[in-house]
Amino acid sequence: MPGKLKAKIVAGRHLPVMDRASDLTDAFVEVKFGNTTFKTDVCPKSLNPQWNSEWFKFEVDDEDLQDEPLQITVLDHDTYSANDAIGKVYIDIDPLLYSEAASVISGWFPIYDTIHGIRGEINVIVKVELFNDLNRFRQSSCGVKFFCTTCIPQCYRATLVHGFVEELVVNEDPEYQWIDRIRTPRASNEARQRLISLMSGELQRKIGLKVLEMGGNAVVGYLQCFDLEGESGLVVRAIGTACTLDKLSSGSAPNTNTHMHPNTAPASNACNSPSKDGKEPVFVEDLPSSSGPPTPFRALPTSSSSPPPFSPSKPCSRQSSSSDTDLSLTPKTGMGSGGSAGKEAGPLRTLLRQQTQTALEQREFPFFTLTSFPPGFLLHVGGVVSARSVKLLDRIHNPDEPETRDAWWEEIRQEIKSHARALGCHAVVGYSESTSICEEVCILSASGTAAILNPRYMREGCLDIGCTDHRFEDPSPPSCGFCHIPYDELNMPFPAQLTYCYHCRRQKVPDVLFTTIDLPSEAAVAGKGCLIQARLCRLKKKAQGETNATAISNLLPFMEYELHTQLMNKLKLRSMNALFGLHIQISVGENMLLGLASATGVYLTALPAPGGIQIAGKTPGDLSNEHISSIQKRINDTIAVNKELYQINPPELAEEGVGSPIPEPRHRSRLFRSHSESSDELSELDLSHGKKDAFVLEIDDTDAVEDIHSLLIDAPPPTGFYSCNTENMPGISNWTSGVQMFTSVRVLRLSNANLTNQGLNKIFTDLCENLLKSFYFKLRSMIPCCLCHLNFTVAVPEEELIQVTVTAVAMTYDKEQTQEKTAEKPVNKGSLEAEEQLQFPLELCADSSSSNIQTASKISGVAESTNISPRAASVDYGSFADRCSTWLELLRLKAHTIRRGSVKTISSLERCSPLQEGRSRSLRSSRSFGGSSVTVVKMTPLSFLPGIRIIKYLGIINMFFIRETTSLREEGGVSGFLHSFIAEVFAMVRAHVAALGGNAVVSYSMKECVFMENPNKNQAQCLINVSGDAVICISETDQESSASTANTGQTGGGGTDGAT
């Protein structure tokens, strides 16, 4: 008997009128947990009843505590007929099961009915007394903390990252059981809600057990999904990253892993002090605490001669302190020892990989659902890996055996793992899984980013992240290290064009980098990022069973190819060279497939400048064609405009001036050049730097013309707006307090059946673009502002319907500060680069030794396949016209390094000048919400709130609601119905958070929004699943006072003890 659950029903308010005669209600409440039910007295003739009940006590197993929700039903007493239900409240008591989280749930909850929506509110107090259970064979996993957040939560420190945990549970869907024919829609909906609540509880408990087995105490990046498979059942599955987390004392909390000041953490660390005086970071001291065997690296850093300490003349700017640390901590190990450095780097890396692999290989799947990491965790990024598989659902119809579903996912994960291997990586980060179901066909998808991780975080022993960051053996500076290729350049998994890192000049980097993770906070970027989307529709014939599945899986590779081409083109069009947060969704409908790829484009200064896009006809003669040249001009103009818009002025481009940054059509000369190594070419190459690698688009048919036109349709956001789909916006960090989370749903009906692929593409693109335009317009009062974490979900709910659901947050920022910061960055870099000139000769030698670069090009490590053709079909996406020999590349690098050193100061001065009229908005956006009797709960899909510090995580919010109506017209049609439903879901989330004593939800997401309608019958139904982390947060400036507000918010229910 390990737990006692206590519940008290205090009062109700705003109840609906249930008795038409008296215009009043005789309400009472049933409290149910497991199989035990209690009732309150009837409170006659009141719409605001005061029950003030006794404490209802349930003595239960902790297993049940984890699985079951507390179910509260409000009814209207009727003497003669059956009592009418007013509505229900399900309370997930999981947050009460671990000591650090909430101690009491107390507050007003909306009373929800699946047919009528919210009908009044009820005030409830819930407590749990847990007894110690020493049973080793227990089935519960109380105490394991769950976080939706995909980074190490603020106020915690990861001492150990154990790795991937997954689980799935299967059940029959009550909606499809025979009994559903005779019961009311309400009963059916409630059965479904309850079942899903139970299943999520069970799932969480099982995952918790796995975490305990691994020795962890928390799951971070917990991602739970539902597959509504219809006849064949209901699957609830979840993945996450098991970690051992340590709570930080409140004093040190602000230093850890906040998005604002990611670099301050190491600076505050005492053990970093040796590095301050310019010496090598001595990690030898660190090693004895490690339980692992002595590694060969140990000797390396001390024996290699270290480069001269950094010049003491650091730029005197506000940013300098953090940047200093960055620079001085940059280990120079591998490269220090003269001409052999390049050679040494190779074996070093192999060794490193071997060692990390052993750490990771014990794990079945070295996957991490995290998207951002503590500094130093991520060493190299290989590229995106993804796998899709088409399955037929009706073949497996045995709900008691989840093994089939497990096997499917196992297959896909194996594939992902092997793709990562092919990229020379031992781990996959930013990993996620999804499905799309239409009738009996199901597409399972998984994607992630192949990466090499710092093995320290995986080993038992010295795992204190705070002490080890920046000190790993890897010779790459944090600002560019992750860009360096993890795979062997002599044996590349796919053709790619490699260059030396533009930042440290010591390692090879690809020309373009695609990832599913967030931009590492220490990465060096130029300008701002922006949302880049590729959208695609493909018609398919209606078919059944296997034919259908085959047709779909045949289409998939083409769709992925086209999506990637679009992404690539759009990236070039914005003059950027890397994508973060890439998420590709392929959604299946009866007669079409929809593909939507979203990512945040950014210019990484470590990567080469992207070439422009060059339009070419079928034959060289076509170049003179007026049409082509007009398109070329438009493209060139767009690139120029975008550069301006996103303030992409990488150091390399500074001296080139604003003049034509776009390649002139130099097709032939370039071809020639690739064969020549004459010195005449050199001067030309210098001038054309940044214009190389022009991406050639061939116009060979009308489709191609259409494609190019569609490229140019994407309107840039209006002045004052930026957008991204990642956690942090590249180039903006000075957020002010304005935050507006929103959800928007749009469904489009395609009127005629004679649509072509092209026509559909246009419609789909317009749909997405118009949505964005709507957001900009609606949020115009927040300018200057950035739409962050724009998460688009597409679905084909019915034939001829396209549904797009978007959840995002708009955040205001301080325009003036941005200016300052961007101005400072180049200054810092300038000094870095000036420093690097000294090392240039070394690089020269190192380079010449490896003159065997593969010349074919490839965007990123995208390996994909479908189940029916299980071979990993890596496709060569696009081709680059320009192929330079290493030798030329080398000379060019040299020229640039030297030039950059001198130009830097000028360019930075220019940018320092107050160019824009922007005025500070910090005052205007800091609204005070005081005075209301309802706690204000902020919600954001991000893991943080600007200017606000999270002091406590209260537990995971995971809620599932069904709403149905049989009076659609009366409720304002489909839009009115869904509008109020979404508002109700928000309200219920806020109420639960407030009852836990919290005042914000972070990492909020709407996982599912399934909408079905039958306007002829005046009916509609919608299912929504949302999740997030409930937190208590306080303003960074004004900690005490807001903490007290957070507390008073909780006591709304009538003075309970145990308020946090």
Per the listing, tokens 């929103």 go with 742
Q: Is 251 exposed, middle or buried (0-12, 13-18, 19+ CB in 10 A)?
A: exposed
The amino acid present at 983, given as its one-letter code, is: A
Residue with smaller CB distance to another protein, 650 or 1049 = 1049
CA distance 920 to 321: 25
- Three-class SS of 244-313: EEEECCCCCHHHCCCCCCCCHHHHCCHHHHHHHCCCCCCCCCCHHHCCCCCCHHHHHHHHCCCCCCCCCC
Residue with smaller CB distance to another protein, 793 or 866 = 793
Q: How far is CA 99 from CA 48, 221, 762, in A?
A: 34, 21, 54
Q: Are strands 578-588 and 592-604 parallel, antiparallel or unpaired?
A: antiparallel
Residue with smaller CB distance to another protein, 126 or 988 = 988
- Smallest distance, another protein to C-beta of residue 302, A: 55
Residue with smaller CB distance to another protein, 118 or 203 = 118
- Smallest distance, another protein to C-beta of residue 945, A: 12
Residue 849 φ then ψ, to 5°: -75, -20
In contact, 3 and 48? CB cutoff 8 Å: no
- Smallest distance, another protein to C-beta of residue 991, A: 5
Quick count: other Cβ atoms within 10 Å of Cβ 103? 19
Residue 965, strand partner residues: 1020
Which residues, in sequence order, are CB contacts of 179 under 8 Å at separation 6+?
A: none
- Smallest distance, another protein to C-beta of residue 858, A: 37
CA distance 595 to 709: 19
- Smallest distance, another protein to C-beta of residue 810, A: 9
Residue 588, strand partner residues: 593
CA distance 336 to 185: 73
- Smallest distance, another protein to C-beta of residue 1015, A: 9
Q: Are strands 613-616 and 695-698 parallel, antiparallel or unpaired?
A: parallel
Tokens representing 72? Answer: 């509260």
Tokens representing 1042? Answer: 């807001």
Residue with smaller CB distance to another protein, 848 or 1014 = 1014
Residue with smaller CB distance to another protein, 422 or 747 = 747
- Smallest distance, another protein to C-beta of residue 75, A: 21
- Smallest distance, another protein to C-beta of residue 454, A: 37
Q: Which residues bind another protein (CB under 8 A)?
A: 13-14, 108, 110, 118, 121, 715, 718, 740-751, 763, 770, 773-780, 801, 803, 927, 929-934, 936-939, 972, 974-976, 978-980, 982-984, 986-988, 990-991, 1011
In contact, 538 and 572? CB cutoff 8 Å: no
The DSSP string of 479-506 is TTGGGS--S-GGG-SS---EEE-TTTSS
Long-range Cβ contacts of 284-292 (<8 Å, 24+ apart): 286/462, 286/467, 286/468, 286/471, 287/462, 289/461, 289/462, 290/456, 290/459, 290/461, 290/462, 291/459, 291/460, 291/461, 292/459, 292/461
Residue with smaller CB distance to another protein, 343 or 773 = 773
Residue with smaller CB distance to another protein, 15 or 390 = 15
Q: Are strands 27-33 and 70-76 parallel, antiparallel or unpaired?
A: antiparallel
Virtual torsion, Cα 1044, 1050, 1055, 1057, nearest 10 deg: -80
User: Terminal CA-to-CA distance of the chain, rounded, Å?
Assistant: 27
In contact, 81 and 931? CB cutoff 8 Å: no
- Smallest distance, another protein to C-beta of residue 1010, A: 13
Residue with smaller CB distance to another protein, 463 or 790 = 790
- Smallest distance, another protein to C-beta of residue 174, A: 26
Residue with smaller CB distance to another protein, 453 or 1030 = 1030
Q: Are strands 1019-1035 and 1000-1014 parallel, antiparallel or unpaired?
A: antiparallel
Tokens representing 766? Answer: 């317009």
200 membership: H or E segment, kind and range: helix 185-214
Residue with smaller CB distance to another protein, 346 or 918 = 918
- Smallest distance, another protein to C-beta of residue 112, A: 11
Residue with smaller CB distance to another protein, 904 or 938 = 938
- Smallest distance, another protein to C-beta of residue 813, A: 17
CA distance 163 to 456: 13
The amino acid present at 393, given as its one-letter code, is: L
- Smallest distance, another protein to C-beta of residue 465, A: 33
Residue with smaller CB distance to another protein, 129 or 970 = 970
In contact, 355 and 348? CB cutoff 8 Å: no
- Smallest distance, another protein to C-beta of residue 118, A: 6
Residue with smaller CB distance to another protein, 184 or 756 = 756
